[in-house]
Chains A and B, each alone.
Chain A
Amino acid sequence: MPHISLSNLRVAYGNQKVLQNITVDIPNNQITAIIGPSGCGKTTLLKTLNRLVDLYDEITVEGEVRIDGADIYDPKADLLTLRKKVGFLSQKPYPLPMSIHDNITFGPRIHRMNRKELLDQIHELEKHIPIDSLCPNGRQGQIQPSRTHEMAYLVEYYLRLAGLWEEVRERLHDPATQLSIGQQQRLALARALAVEPEVILADEPTSALDPISAQLIEKQFKTLKNHYTIVVVTHILRQARRIADYVIFLYLGELVEHGPAEQFFSSPRDERTRAYISGEIS
């Protein structure tokens, strides 16, 4: 069963319809790209998946969004658990106004995770992605996952997972705002991963970044997809071609076409998809 399954999803801001009749299953442990021109509802679709749209005035969401079988818009659904399960990366990174270290521990602390839970989380993750695989230069003399240093270990682990550790290991207690924007985006990734979500939503995560940082983020996504389900909004077609396994094409609030990336790009079924891919419309 797929993690995320949408059926007849309709979203409107006031009287303005933003999304109409979206029905699609998002495959597990793959990178799904939501593509389409500006203003066609990509970000709104992404933000319905972790109910960030709840923050906007006059928004109405109809239809079903099921994550792990449960309708997340059910009035009885637990919003905090949902958001723990679904991590989010915004277009421009927003470091929390605290140190690099505290940015990573923010999630575990608000979710009141105790030592045992932290250690279990790390051990579980280590089975899939061992820390040594994240250390190109070996990891001698480093902190071990002991009872006293579980937070320090967790910070190191997730910073390595996001490919940021080597750059910040000497200044973990400096303000996160001092990092470059590319580093801030990787910090945001590490911070989102630290609550151990199952799904990562990313809203044009590289659009504010320089090409090298953007490449780093794409590389991290490819590593992470084995363990997480990743949904990326992008308006860069080439990026979708590079990283996506599955593609959802939105046009003016409508789901035009979706399918495995290879098939989507090589033999699009819909005329609008073909026009968009070939650059006739944008």
Chain B
Amino acid sequence: MKSRKIEEAVFKLLMIASITTVLAVLAGILVVIVVRGAPALNLAMLVQTPEGGYYLGKEGGIANAIVGSLCLALGASLLSFLFGLPIAFALQKEYIGRRLAQITRLSLDILWGTPSIVYGAFGFIIMVYLGLRASLLGGIIALTLLMLPIMIRSIEEVIRMTPLELKETSYAMGATRIETTVKVVLRQALPGMITGVLLAFGRGIGDAASILFTTGYTDYIPRSLFDPVASLPLAVFFQVATPIPEVQQRAYASALILLIIVLLISLASRLLSRRYSRHVLR
């Protein structure tokens, strides 16, 4: 009897230890970014583009990178959702059958684990082939490739959680596959799908390697899809690599801005998800 209680206590301790470790690391990252970045954070940082001498510690901001990152991540989220949703739907067994679905899932999982620099290199090859230069469009394409597996797998997981009996209910009424998918499964899975989109968005907006070759970097706000574009991860990367302390501080401030954007998007999606979960069957 006693050994079972000890076992219980040991496992409880293990769980607490791992949760504490993870939270401590997260808190450490946050503290470093806030402590180092907050002093450099000001309105100018958010609304101005870099002036001459910005990278030597003079005036200006990183509005170019904020706008750039938002354009890249939103564009790629939209594109990967448009391609991803039909694929996620098709992975249901009514459409392509179990075996093909398993093969597709396996390849998506491999793509998920592929280093993002590979997507950058692949995106670059596509751009060369299409005759594009480093641009917003190139970045969106590379990011879309990176985000697609995440988007599809996470949406598809929620869709698979839809109870078979709920689908049966719809089929038994005489609904077709597409009616069942769009009118029943989609509504049931919607809150979870929003989380999936967010997951992909968060991965996309924070990724540096895939856009390193594909977007270039510029001090200006892009005017079209074919302009080069700045981005927050690369802004962090370039600024932290300088020897000037003021600029390094700005790197942390840029990272802080990136974190705040991700936080805001998460909160918004939580709200949205709650709003759409009114009808969801639990």
Q: Which residues of A contact B (CB under 8 A)?
A: 50, 52, 55, 57, 80-84, 87-88, 90, 92, 94-99, 106-107, 110-111, 175-177, 188, 191-192, 195
Contacts and interface: CB of A to CB of B under 8 A. Distances in A.
A175 B278 contact: yes
Given A92-B165, A106-B175, A177-B282, 10 more contacts: A50-B172, A52-B171, A55-B167, A55-B168, A83-B172, A90-B168, A106-B170, A106-B173, A106-B183, A175-B278
A252 B84 CA distance: 45
Interface of B: 93-94, 98, 163-176, 179, 183-184, 187-188, 278-282
A94 B172 contact: no
A153 to B, nearest CB: 20
A248 to B, nearest CB: 21
Contacts of A90: 165, 168-169, 172
Nearest to A109: B183
Given A95-B281, A98-B187, A175-B279, A83 B163 contact: no
Given A55-B94, A98-B279, A177-B282, A83 B166 contact: no
Contacts of B282: 177
A55 B171 contact: yes
Given A80-B176, A177-B281, A96 B170 contact: yes
B279 A99 contact: yes
A111 B170 CA distance: 12
A102 to B, nearest CB: 9
Given A94-B165, A96-B166, A177-B282, A88 B187 contact: no
Contacts of B170: 96, 106
B183 to A, nearest CB: 7
A177 B183 contact: no
Contacts of A192: 172-173
B93 A97 contact: no
B174 A177 contact: no
B168 A52 contact: yes
Nearest to B188: A97
Contacts of A98: 187, 279
Contact of A97 (B164, B174, B279): B279
A52 B173 CA distance: 11
Given A92-B165, A177-B281, A195 B171 contact: no
B279 A177 contact: yes
13 contacts: A55-B171, A80-B174, A82-B174, A90-B165, A92-B165, A94-B166, A96-B166, A96-B187, A97-B184, A97-B188, A97-B281, A110-B183, A177-B280
A15 B165 CA distance: 24
B78 to A, nearest CB: 25
B174 A84 contact: yes
A111 B179 CA distance: 11
A188 B169 contact: yes
A87 B168 CA distance: 12
A191 B168 contact: no
Contacts of B278: 175
Contacts of A84: 173-174
A279 B178 CA distance: 47
Contacts of B93: 57
A192 to B, nearest CB: 7
Nearest to B189: A97
Contacts of A96: 166, 169-170, 183-184, 187
Contacts of A55: 94, 164, 167-168, 171
Nearest to B175: A110
Contact of A83 (B94, B171, B187): B171
Contact of B173 (A57, A95, A110): A110
A203 to B, nearest CB: 10
Contacts of A82: 174
Given A55-B94, A94-B281, A177-B279, A195 B169 contact: no
Interface centre among B174, B187, B279 (most CB of A within 10 A): B174
Nearest to A58: B98
A214 B244 CA distance: 77
Contact of A107 (B164, B174, B184): B174
Contacts of B279: 97-99, 175-177
B179 to A, nearest CB: 5
Contacts of B163: 94
Given A96-B184, A97-B188, A110-B179, A83 B174 contact: yes
Nearest to B180: A110
Contacts of A107: 173-174
A223 B210 CA distance: 67
Contacts of B167: 55
